[in-house]
Amino acid sequence: MKKVFMGLAALAFVLVSCEQEQENSPLNDAQEVQVDMSDFYVYTDEVTDVSSKGANGKDCASMKVLNANLNANPGLAKKMYDIEKNARKFIAAKKGGNGNGNGGNGGGDPVDPPVDDGLGVINIPVIVHVIYNNSNENISSAQIDSQIDVLNKDFNATNSDVGLVPSEFAGSVADSDFSFTLSQVVRVSSSRTSWGTNDAMKSSANGGSDAITPDTHLNIWVCNIGGGILGYAQFPGGSAATDGIVVSPQYFGTTGFVSSPFDGGRTTTHEVGHWINLRHIWGDGRCRQDDFVADTPSSDRPNYGCPSYPTAHCRSNDMTMNYMDYVDDACMYMFSEGQKQRMRAVFAPGGPRDGFIN
């Protein structure tokens, strides 16, 4: 009887401790918020407008890789659903509303004024893995530094071309409060001339380079992907062993071995956006498929080159200058406030990237 009593007492202590922990948890308010998840999806249609892509069209393989990972890992869809729900709760708790981002009408509505999410400036240490087959691919330290500089400017709206945003979207331009610092450069010589998108470059067993502390560092593999692919990213929720982004060397940074019209470092900005949970601006589907962000208008296709303003699809003007479209580097120069909220939510307590918060 004494053992039973002691067991009940211990259970009561655990329950009280859990209640106190929940009361003290920064996400307690968010956990109480009810959010609408009816619009959420994980698989995409990978829609591209081939007719307007042209010979030099941007090609990001992130959604194709995501679909392949979902097929290979049956538990990934549920994990991504839970990550999305937690992020929406966090956003909703901070600014009110249902947290689903699209306002119930597929996007285009303005978000609420910026709200302090309590996370402060988020520092992201970066580890760059340079995997090279020739001297051009063994990019210089100056080229790597130039890319870190672009990331800091693009994510904090200090890029020189942000003033080109048309007045329709100027009020949505976001300073996302991220700080990127170069932590380490790893260089690996390889006999391979191209790597594809099956993550082989992320394993030393395959002649690549293993991810380093991905729970607290952004790993970037710079290697020739091949097939005209500029880069790809892993969304939050995937395997730690492959977490990070991959960029071909000629599209990384702004100096050295770079290739126009993608020589402005914006491929990496785009892929880091995916890594922090942003979808393509057009939602990778038709007009009713959304990117889960309220202040990015609906569209049914990517834009290429340098489209004139306004360019309209789905009865609204496209935000072609957004980093999550496919336009040339010189013609993309903003994230939106809604995208900022979405990115920062994955760093909140209980989020998939909360290890970056000290």
Instruction: Copy the structure tokens of residue 51.
Output: 């007719």
Chain position carrying tokens 């992907």: 225
Chain position carrying tokens 């698989």: 43
271 part of the active site: yes
Catalytic residue among 84, 137, 271, 337: 271
3 state DSSP class of 313: strand
Cβ contacts of 89 within 8 Å, gap of 6 or more: 27, 30, 31, 33, 35, 99
Cβ contacts of 244 within 8 Å, gap of 6 or more: 202, 211, 214, 218, 219, 220, 221, 233, 234, 275
Which are the catalytic amino acids?
A: 271
